[in-house]
Chain A
Amino acid sequence: MNSLNDKISSLAKVEKEAENLVVFSEASQIREIVRLIILQGARFIHLTAIDFSEQRQKIQLNYFFLLLKERINIILKTELDSASPSVSSISDIIPGAIWAERECMDLFGVNFLGHPDPRRLVLPDDWPEDLYPLRKNFSYDFKPPVKSEASVELKKPGEGRTVIPLGPFYPSLEEPAYFRLIVDGEEIVDFDYRGFYVHRGIEKLAESVLNYQQIPFLAERICGICGFVHSTAYCQAVERAGKIDVPERAKFIRTIFLELERIHSHLLWAGLAAHIVGFDTLFMQAWRIREPVMQLCEMITGNRKTYGINIVGGVTIDILPQQMKDMEGVINQIEKEVRELREIILNDEVIQLRFQKVGALPEEEAKNFYVGGPVARASGVEIDIRLNFPYAAYSEIGFRMPIRKEGDVWARTIVRLEEILISIGILRETVKKIPEGPTFIKFTKIEPWQEGISYVEAPRGQLFHYVMTGPDGKPYRWSVRAPSYQNYQALSVLLKGGSIADAPLIIASIDPCFSCTERFETVDIKSKIFRTYTAEELRKCLKAK
Chain B
Amino acid sequence: MNWSLIIFSSIINISVVLLLSPLFDGFTRKIRAIIQSRVGPPPLQSYYDILKLMGKEDLKSTINPLFRFSPYLSVISIAMASLLVPIVGVNPPFNFWGDIFLFIYIITVVGIAIIITASASENPFAYIGASRKMMLHLSVEPILAIALITGAINADSFKIGDIVKWYHLNGPNVSMLLATVCVFLSLQALIGKIPFDVSEAEQEIAEGVLIELSGPKYACVKWANMSKQVLFCLVFSQIFIPWPLTENILLNILIALSKVTVIIFISTLIEALNPRLRIDQALKYNLTLAGFSITAVFLALLGV
Binding site for B on A (CB under 8 A): 162-165, 171-172, 186, 274-285, 288, 348, 350-351, 353-354, 499-504, 542-543
CB-CB under 8 A from A274, the residues of chain B are: 275
Interface 1/0 per residue, B244-281 and A, CB below 8 Å: 00000000000000000000000000001111111111
Q: Is the CB of B277 within 8 A of A353?
A: yes
Q: Knowing A278-B201, A281-B32, A281-B35 touch, does A502 contact B278 (C-beta < 8 A)?
A: yes
Q: Knowing A186-B279, A278-B276 touch, does A284 contact B37 (C-beta < 8 A)?
A: yes
Q: A501 vs B200: C-alpha distance in the bound complex, in angstroms?
A: 11
Q: Which of B36, B204, B273, B274 contacts A501 (CB 8 A)?
A: B204
CB-contacts of B164-195 with A (<8 A):
194-195
CB-nearest residue of chain B to A272: B203
Q: Is the CB of A284 within 8 A of B203?
A: no
Q: A165 vs B126: C-alpha distance in the bound complex, in angstroms?
A: 12
B277 to nearest A CB, angstroms? Answer: 7
CB-nearest residue of chain B to A185: B131
CB-CB under 8 A from A275, the residues of chain B are: 203
Q: Is B11 an interface residue (CB 8 A)?
A: no
Instruction: Say which size band chain B's interface belongs to.
Output: 20 to 34
CB-CB under 8 A from A186, the residues of chain B are: 128, 279
Q: Is the CB of A354 within 8 A of B278?
A: yes
Q: A274 vs B128: C-alpha distance in the bound complex, in angstroms?
A: 22
A98 to nearest B CB, angstroms? Answer: 28
Q: Knowing A354-B275, A501-B204, A504-B204 touch, does A278 contact B124 (C-beta < 8 A)?
A: no
A35 to nearest B CB, angstroms? Answer: 42
Q: Is B206 an interface residue (CB 8 A)?
A: yes
Q: Which of B36, B201, B204 contacts A284 (CB 8 A)?
A: B36
A387 to nearest B CB, angstroms? Answer: 34
CB-CB under 8 A from A163, the residues of chain B are: 124
CB-nearest residue of chain A to B207: A171
Q: Which of B206, B273, B277 contacts A354 (CB 8 A)?
A: B277
CB-nearest residue of chain B to A164: B124
Q: A176 vs B256: C-alpha distance in the bound complex, in angstroms?
A: 49
Q: A280 vs B31: C-alpha distance in the bound complex, in angstroms?
A: 13
CB-CB under 8 A from A277, the residues of chain B are: 203, 275-276
Q: Knowing A278-B197, A284-B36 touch, does A350 contact B124 (C-beta < 8 A)?
A: no
CB-CB under 8 A from B201, the residues of chain A are: 278, 501
CB-contacts of B274-304 with A (<8 A):
274-281
Q: Is B95 an interface residue (CB 8 A)?
A: no
Interface 1/0 per residue, B23-43 and A, CB below 8 Å: 000000000100111100000
Q: A159 vs B275: C-alpha distance in the bound complex, in angstroms?
A: 35
Q: Is B123 an interface residue (CB 8 A)?
A: yes
Q: Is B50 an interface residue (CB 8 A)?
A: no
Known: A499-B280, A503-B204, A543-B122. 16 other contacts (CB 8 A): A164-B125, A165-B124, A186-B128, A274-B275, A276-B203, A276-B204, A278-B197, A279-B276, A285-B37, A350-B277, A353-B278, A354-B275, A354-B281, A500-B204, A504-B204, A542-B124
Q: Is the CB of B123 within 8 A of A542?
A: yes
Q: Is B198 an interface residue (CB 8 A)?
A: yes
24 contacts between A and B (CB under 8 A): A172-B204, A274-B275, A276-B204, A277-B203, A278-B194, A278-B201, A278-B202, A278-B274, A278-B275, A280-B32, A280-B36, A280-B272, A281-B36, A281-B273, A288-B37, A350-B195, A350-B274, A353-B278, A353-B281, A354-B276, A354-B277, A499-B278, A501-B198, A502-B278
Q: Knowing A278-B195, A280-B32 touch, does A348 contact B124 (C-beta < 8 A)?
A: no
CB-nearest residue of chain B to A541: B124
Q: Which of B128, B278, B281 contacts A164 (CB 8 A)?
A: B128
A202 to nearest B CB, angstroms? Answer: 30
Q: Is the CB of A501 within 8 A of B278?
A: yes
CB-CB under 8 A from A278, the residues of chain B are: 194-195, 197, 201-203, 274-276
Q: Is the CB of A351 within 8 A of B275?
A: yes
CB-CB under 8 A from A353, the residues of chain B are: 277-278, 281
B303 to nearest A CB, angstroms? Answer: 37
B288 to nearest A CB, angstroms? Answer: 14
Q: Is B205 an interface residue (CB 8 A)?
A: yes
CB-CB under 8 A from B274, the residues of chain A are: 278-279, 350
Q: A278 vs B279: C-alpha distance in the bound complex, in angstroms?
A: 13
Q: A420 vs B161: C-alpha distance in the bound complex, in angstroms?
A: 59
CB-CB under 8 A from A350, the residues of chain B are: 195, 274-275, 277
The 9 tightest CB contacts between A and B, nearest first, are A278-B276, A284-B36, A279-B275, A277-B275, A172-B203, A171-B206, A276-B203, A501-B278, A281-B272
B275 to nearest A CB, angstroms? Answer: 4
Q: Is the CB of B128 within 8 A of A285?
A: no
CB-CB under 8 A from A162, the residues of chain B are: 124
Q: Is the CB of B279 within 8 A of A501?
A: yes
A211 to nearest B CB, angstroms? Answer: 43
Q: Is the CB of A348 within 8 A of B203?
A: no
B291 to nearest A CB, angstroms? Answer: 20
CB-nearest residue of chain A to B205: A500
CB-CB under 8 A from A354, the residues of chain B are: 275-278, 281
CB-nearest residue of chain B to A283: B36
A272 to nearest B CB, angstroms? Answer: 9
Q: A542 vs B122: C-alpha distance in the bound complex, in angstroms?
A: 9
Q: Taking each of A163, A171, A282, which has the highest tally of chain B beta carbons within 10 Å of its own beta carbon?
A: A171
Q: A501 vs B275: C-alpha distance in the bound complex, in angstroms?
A: 13
Q: Is the CB of B275 within 8 A of A284?
A: no
Q: A277 vs B204: C-alpha distance in the bound complex, in angstroms?
A: 8
Q: A351 vs B274: C-alpha distance in the bound complex, in angstroms?
A: 8
Q: A305 vs B277: C-alpha distance in the bound complex, in angstroms?
A: 35
CB-CB under 8 A from B202, the residues of chain A are: 171-172, 278
CB-CB under 8 A from B203, the residues of chain A are: 171-172, 275-278, 504
CB-nearest residue of chain B to A279: B275
CB-CB under 8 A from A281, the residues of chain B are: 32, 35-36, 272-273
Q: A221 vs B274: C-alpha distance in the bound complex, in angstroms?
A: 36
A144 to nearest B CB, angstroms? Answer: 34
CB-CB under 8 A from A279, the residues of chain B are: 194, 274-276
